[in-house]
Amino acid sequence: MKINKYSKQINPKKLEELSITSRYLKVSDTTVIILFIEQLTNRSRLTTSIIKPLILETRKNITIDNIISSVIYMDDITVDTDEANLIDYILKGQSIILIPNEDKYIIANTLKIEKRQVQDPTIESTIKGARDAFTENYDDNLSLIRYRLKDPQLRIDEYVVGKRTLTNIAIIYIKDIADDNLVDSIKTKISKINVEGILESGYVQKFILNNPYNFFPQAGIVERSDVASANILDGKIIILVEGGNLALVVPKTFIEFIDASDDHYDNVFISLFSKFIRVLCTFISLFLTSLYVAVVSFHSDILPTHYIISLATSRATVPFNGFLEAFLMELVAEILREASTRLPKQIGPAIGIVGTIVIGQASVAAGLISPLLVIIVSLSLMGSFATSDYTITNTFRILKFLMIIITSIFGLFGFTMGIIFIIINLCSIDSFGVSYVSPLSPFNFKDLKNLLLSDVRTSTKRPSYLKTKDNKRQ
């Protein structure tokens, strides 16, 4: 039997090596060949929509065009003539339909996807917000966004990245809002990715950042479809990666990390108060422990006399200086945090709470640390969880230890220099052409007011630093 140019591609030995199943059907006087991988194929759909109609077909001289137009019951089919793509289609879970002596073949989408249902978000917790979070299924994630944004200007530009994984990546934006330069920049960076495999959005993030080694994240993560849609309406770009349940949002500025989706659903005063609490928690998690080191080791005289005596009494049995005491206690807290993260969710929180209480009380009872430091480290740990995007929390974890070290050497002078270093670093970063400290620098009162109030009634314009084509919301 002559299969023309496809003979080499469907060689039995090659098919066996790739675990490809071949099914030969006699349709009238024509042999039809169906190629598929059992583990990736929806066998029920293949049987009822392709095999059964072909077997029941009685016409003679069946052709590829006949099969497409009036035989198989498939809505998602395409035709290709390139033999080099044939095996790639099968490895992606498609079924191939071949007929001898024809120079084209049918690609039928019979992919079977093992997936979990759309569930509540686990990272972006919410009180009033939507509960539909992204899953690992690419099509489901796209459908969640399309469900919320019915704008005909919505664009989903797709790329296939990874020489071995052939991962689908979607760049999602609204054409008449998003800045063309930003869109072109993202497209260029993604199209230049040359790697064997992309398994999650974190892989893509490493390739698209201007400076992947900076402390602060220049791209945000999104787990919920309503948050992703809100960012798209602002003029930002969402990047979805097949197989990942977290999308990327670019650009992302530092002050936006204190914003949470619930702020947009609550009363203006509640929103403003919540943001104030988050800012306070940021300062506590980053600077409180190092300030303790500065006071205990160098500048105890800045405290009232009775506090100095009380502090000295509580530290009378502590065998370490202020730096070692704080450093070790923060290290223990990080160990507990990491351990509770890796443990099964049923016992992780319990172990974290019990471990903190037991270790803290035992250390104080043994005279290894002062009671005040236990309170400070606990506040610092709790404060680090207040931000809505946990990626910025990881930055604070590192900077906190650097602040403790520099403060232990230079005291309040080192504490001040550490703050200045952080501010200089923040001001020197840009997130895809946008100043990282916008709208504080360059200062824009309207943008800052809209960000702090999070009120849809007063936010009549989009942030100016995003340089959107259409800056009017209403």
Task: Check whether 4 has a pLDDT greater than 60.
Answer: no
- Residue type, position 110, single letter: T
Task: Check whether 3 has a pLDDT greater than 90.
Answer: no
Q: What is the pLDDT of residues 399-456, one digit of tens each?
A: 999 999 999 999 999 999 999 999 999 999 988 989 999 999 889 999 999 888 888 8
Q: What is the pLDDT of residues 229-275, one digit of tens each?
A: 999 999 999 999 998 889 999 999 999 998 888 888 888 888 899 99
Q: What is the pLDDT of residues 305-342, one digit of tens each?
A: 778 787 777 777 788 888 998 998 898 888 888 877 77
Q: Tell me what the pLDDT averaged over the chain comes to.
A: 86
pLDDT at site 355: 67
pLDDT band at 378 (very low <50, low <70, confident <90, very high): confident
Any idea where the domains of the chain sit in the sequence?
4-108, 138-252, 264-434
pLDDT at site 356: 66
The residue among 61 and 154 whose pLDDT is bigger is: 154
**Extended strands (E) in 162-217:** 167-174
pLDDT at site 350: 58
Distance (Å) of CA 467 to CA 30, 85, 221: 60, 41, 21
pLDDT at site 234: 93
Tell me what percent of the residues of the chain surpass a pLDDT of 70.
Answer: 95
pLDDT at site 63: 86
Task: Check whether 344 has a pLDDT greater than 60.
Answer: yes
For residue 247, what are the β-bridge partners? 222
pLDDT at site 173: 96
Long-range contacts of 269-278 (CB under 8 A, 24+ apart): 271/452, 271/453, 271/454, 271/455, 272/452, 272/453, 275/452, 277/386, 278/386, 278/387, 278/388
Instruction: Over range 461-469, report the average pLDDT.
Output: 92
